[in-house]
Structure 1
Amino acid sequence: MFFAESPSEQIMKKTLYLVRHAKAEDRAPFMRDHDRELVSEGIIASARIGRHLKDKGITADCLISSTALRAKDTARIVAEQLGIDPETISYDEHMFDGGPKAYLAAVNRLPANCQSAMLFGHNPDITYFAEFLTHQDVGSMSKGAVAAIEFTDLEWAAVSGRTGNLLFYVAPKHLKEA
């Protein structure tokens, strides 16, 4: 005889996608680092990663980006590829130069009804954060790369070090030309 699990016995899973911004223009004299834009290669890579995620059936309920122009642009392009309204992206100024603690604070503030979230940020912080959550060696995340991390039976507020499992890591350079 088969008994269905009651809702209280079902395993709850949440997924976090960490996305490093794609390739941006080099820093020039008198230009603020915060204001660097994506170059054409970065725009194309963002679209390819977004399309790859969509092809894999991946989406996100909540999107949060650093306020730096290159991260915002990456977030907008990926959102468009996923069929998500870019106007729904939230921006967190602390994710620019705030260190991994700023990323953790952003995750811990996610609403309980958000089952999957996507954060767009910068190296080295985003790599350190992925490794902190999973205790796995991710290596230095490439520009435009995505690390997917799954949490089992945890609310976002309880996410901390070693609580996640790395599902996959993919960078634009790993994808075949479309």
Structure 2
Amino acid sequence: MTGRLWRVGAAILLAVTQASAGTPLVGCYERIYDEAHLGAHRRQIVRHVRVKIAPTSVSPSEGGDKPPIADALFQVWAEKGKKSFDSLGVCWAQADGLVCNGSDSAAETSLCKTKTRGVRDCRIEGAQSGRFRIAPRSDGAHVLVTETLELPQTGSDVGPFLYLSPNDPENRDFLLKAAPQKTCQ
């Protein structure tokens, strides 16, 4: 029990230290893929990615061993859609970056017959909120889907939904550039 208490205390101290030093990666990051890139990556359905990272609004006591230190709004525009698919994740520190849970959706709609990635008007059975990792880069951030993410379309609780899988190399790994804060508002 003493070891567990020590780990919890160390995690809280780390969170307090990081919060006082500033939440890592706070800011706005974006990438819009051009036609040349998409032509070379024909299986890529993601056309535009944006992530906004801010200090968390969640109490550190709600995180247990992993106190939340940031919130990340992960937005993806797929195919030629005009609306984004969004996930607001609560994040905790890991190594030099953040690990974020995807947001839960309470939508009740039909189940998909397949578990393949992409835009769906149904929900994948047993879908969890998913998870993504954000790591700093010299000129931006690297976002990696680490557990299948379900992202509902902006402003909709009934779909469509975008599914990104860690097993899909064309739609799981994004290098984003730092963007002006007004881009994420």
TM-score (norm 2): 0.27
Larger strand proportion of the pair: 2
Q: Which has the higher contact order (CA 8 A, sep 6+)?
A: 1
Q: TM-score, normalised by structure 1?
A: 0.28
- Structure number having the greater helix percentage: 1
